[in-house]
Structure 1
């Protein structure tokens, strides 16, 4: 019995999806370890194992690739869909229990020297994290509380991942974890229940 022949568009679409995913994964690695200015389109394509012209085809430019990568890695929505009373525990678990993959914070910090990449980082942080978090937090002062949470998380993640200090070496299992959970939850609870 012969197998049905798949339409060529399906095979092409799967290949395009794989290529796009490979480029995004390579971009995440390079932008978060080298920064925007020190990462070239060819570097990303080489790491992804594809022709560099495909960056232009799928993303338009290196800037478009950077924005698409940020959109992919900055998403607060899974965390704000959970139990509000466990938000501190859940968000800290997302930070500390995740694999050691390159993260969006490193991408944003290492790319701050480029004005366009910096602007994209600030915009994505505002639209993908601050605004949805502020809406979820609600009144009073949802936007202020969202900003305070981001300051807390950014400070912690910077000192734990990017500029590691010895007291945070065991953050996954220490009193630091409990402090971060409690402080995060306290900011969430400022608005009442």
Structure 2
């Protein structure tokens, strides 16, 4: 039998989930546009529309918040699609999702802080390279996963962070096709 506190507890949980999500969204936005050092807890809280003490309550510290934002990023859904379309599907994420370059920008802009840098390196290894390497399998799954990371991060850096002119306008379509083919070629190295 449920008592009068049941609905309040459920409402509180929904509010807590919404607050946590708003903080993470604000942090992702600020970390990916300003970096770790230039983002303050108060600024995150203000953008999220919450009291700054809630950031500490939910995440412990700015470093904890940075790690929590990284933890939200998950490549594994991409590993459940058709392997023959991986290049098209993965590159589609970069082009078709507005925030797709956010995690990379967040890590690059935060590289000057030792703790944020260490969290980024750990994240790349455990949440991107390792699952991708397992999915790719032999031969040299880890090396191929590293090459994919190099390819994607180089492209996103040249397109979003340090934009180069050849990636502007009409050339983007041909670059997209090249990136799809280059990605797929690395994936297909194991099936030759």
TM superposition score category, shorter chain reference: over 0.9
Q: How many residues align?
A: 189
Structure 1 unaligned segments of length 5 or more: list them: none
Structure 2: runs of 5+ lacking an equivalent: none
Please give the root-mean-square deviation of Cα atoms over the aligned residues, in Å: 1.7
User: Does the aligned pair in 1 maintain the 2:111–2:117 contact within 8 Å?
Assistant: yes
Deviating more after overlay: 118-127 vs 164-173: 164-173
Aligned to 2:34: 34
Partner Cα distance (1:8, 1:95) in 2: 41
Equivalent residues of 2:138, 2:190 under 8 A apart: yes
Distance 2:36 2:172 in 1: 33
Q: What is the match of residue 177 of structure 1?
A: 176
Aligned mates of 2:54, 2:92 — CA distance in 1? 36
- The answer to whether the aligner puts 1:25 opposite 2:21 as a matched pair is no
How far 1:187 sits from its partner (Å)? 0.3
| Equivalent residue, structure 2, for 1:98 | 97
Residue 63 of structure 2 is matched in structure 1 by 63
The normalised TM-score by structure 2 is 0.94
> Secondary structure at the residue paired with 1:120?
helix
Q: Is the 8 A contact 2:63 2:115 kept in 1?
A: yes
When normalised by structure 1's length, the TM-score is 0.93
**Which of the two has greater helix per residue?**
2
* Compared CA separation, residues 190 and 101, structure 1 to 2 (3 A): closer
